[in-house]
């Protein structure tokens, strides 16, 4: 039950002492459960098609055919040729290969906005690149980007969907600036948070390099891909075997790749219906939280509650005076699982560099929480969250007084 604010007497919140035996997994932007289609495809690839695809005998050829079939599926979903798909060990490697691969081959200057995932941001910084600002919604500041572009720039990386806020970045204006002011530069987009929600083939058609990661759209962890258009050359970061047309050495993870392709196929086939269903659930969750929790604000969403510029699964909120870590601990006690934003290896929560770049004051950013829905989210998840989350906020706000 959602307890909205009214002008009448305040109704008591339910106790935080195990209000329900339900659970709500709302951290799909960190990782989403593996789709059944992916599991069904992965098991035979482990038990039957287990040859090394670089080999010459029949079992190796079977593995190579499975790899080629998966490459065809990814190529269709990403709007490229099968030979343009480079399989990697995940999104981080794909981002690193795009940035450091182009810089390693061509030198020059690499550029990205301050809100990029650290897989891009740290790679740009390591290459001595330029980081440009964003506006209050997290979209790249086109004037700042223009100022950063010149003939020395060899790569510009702008993510299609922000991993924390869910805001969608239109790439065409970026591509126009790059073509005009940095004619040597290649455009890379991190589409890791986009593939499950958006037609990446269409929205990233002007990108020269595109990164995706399987476990964000229902595939297994540890496998991803980078689109490298035919006229793009880059320096391999992993060498020694010559796989992936000498762009990424190492025996391919055939079971993981086959499962990724199955998850991609399922995502593509159900994207429109899933987006509509999950968007409605997200709206109910976000509206319920805004109505029930004093001082709660949705990131990059105005008073009109227009969320059309965000992907369907994203509900990112802040409450000043509430520390994220304390809130997440209370939520976990009642089986609501969310996150502060971008995941890191230690699990420690730090103020978001994304929110800082957007101009969000530090006291507000310290209370940021990302509730993210995915392909298998349900009405029951939202029901449970709306029962538990406002009570947790009330408890922490009471302690803060």
- Give the catalytic positions in this structure: 344
CB atoms closer than 10 angstroms to residue 337: 17
Residue among 358, 350, 357, 363 at smallest CA distance from 322? 363
Q: Which residue has the tokens 């991993």?
A: 163
Q: Where are the beta strands (DSSP E) in 303-353?
A: 314-318, 336-337
Task: Return all residues near 4 (Cβ < 8 A) that are at least 6 apart.
Answer: 288, 291, 292
Distance, in Å, from the CA atom of 367 to the CA atom of 319, rounded to the nearest integer, reads 5
Q: How far is CA 389 from the centre of its chain?
A: 24
Distance, in Å, from the CA atom of 127 to the CA atom of 208, rounded to the nearest integer, reads 19
User: Quick check: 12 and 296 in contact, CB under 8 A?
Assistant: no
Residue among 185, 202, 201, 215 at smallest CA distance from 75? 201
Helices (H), 184-294: 200-203, 243-246, 254-292
What is the dihedral angle through the alpha carbons of 246, 248, 253, 254, rounded to the nearest 10 degrees?
A: -40
Residue among 94, 93, 96, 159 at smallest CA distance from 124? 96
Distance, in Å, from the CA atom of 273 to the CA atom of 11, rounded to the nearest integer, reads 37
């Amino acid at each position: 039950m959602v307890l909205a604010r009214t002008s009448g007497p305040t109704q008591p919140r339910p106790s935080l002492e195990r209000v329900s035996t339900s659970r709500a997994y709302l951290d799909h932007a960190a990782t989403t459960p593996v789709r059944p289609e992916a599991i069904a495809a992965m098991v035979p690839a482990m038990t039957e098609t287990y040859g090394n695809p670089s080999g010459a005998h029949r079992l190796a050829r079977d593995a190579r055919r499975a790899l080629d079939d998966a490459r065809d599926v990814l190529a269709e979903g990403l709007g490229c040729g099968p030979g343009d798909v480079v399989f990697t060990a995940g999104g981080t490697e794909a981002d690193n290969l795009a940035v450091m691969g182009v810089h390693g081959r061509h030198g020059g200057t690499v550029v990205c906005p301050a809100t990029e995932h650290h897989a891009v941001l740290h790679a740009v910084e390591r290459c001595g690149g330029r980081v440009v600002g964003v506006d209050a919604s997290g979209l790249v500041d086109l004037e700042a980007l223009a100022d950063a572009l010149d003939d020395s720039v060899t790569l510009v990386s702008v993510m299609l969907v922000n991993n924390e806020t869910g805001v969608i970045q239109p790439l065409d204006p970026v591509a126009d600036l790059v073509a005009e002011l940095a004619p040597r530069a290649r455009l890379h987009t991190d589409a890791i948070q986009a593939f499950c929600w958006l037609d990446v083939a269409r929205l990233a058609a002007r990108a020269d390099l595109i990164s995706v990661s399987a476990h964000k759209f229902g595939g297994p962890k540890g496998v991803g891909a980078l689109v490298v258009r035919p006229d793009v050359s880059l320096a391999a970061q992993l060498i020694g075997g010559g796989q992936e047309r000498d762009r990424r050495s190492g025996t391919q993870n055939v079971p993981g790749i086959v499962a990724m392709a199955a998850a991609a196929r399922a995502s593509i086939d159900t994207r429109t219906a899933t987006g509509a269903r999950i968007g409605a659930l997200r709206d109910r969750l976000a509206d319920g939280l805004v109505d029930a929790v004093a001082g709660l604000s949705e990131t990059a969403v105005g008073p009109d509650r227009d969320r059309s510029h965000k992907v369907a699964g994203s509900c990112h909120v802040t409450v000043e005076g509430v520390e994220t870590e304390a809130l997440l601990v209370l939520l976990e006690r009642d089986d609501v699982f969310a996150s502060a934003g971008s995941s890191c290896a230690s699990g420690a929560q730090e103020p978001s560099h994304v929110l800082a770049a957007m101009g969000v004051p530090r006291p507000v950013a310290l209370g940021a929480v990302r509730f993210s829905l995915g392909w298998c989210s349900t009405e029951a998840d939202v029901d449970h969250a709306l029962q538990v989350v406002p009570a947790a906020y009330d408890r922490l706000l009471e302690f803060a007084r």
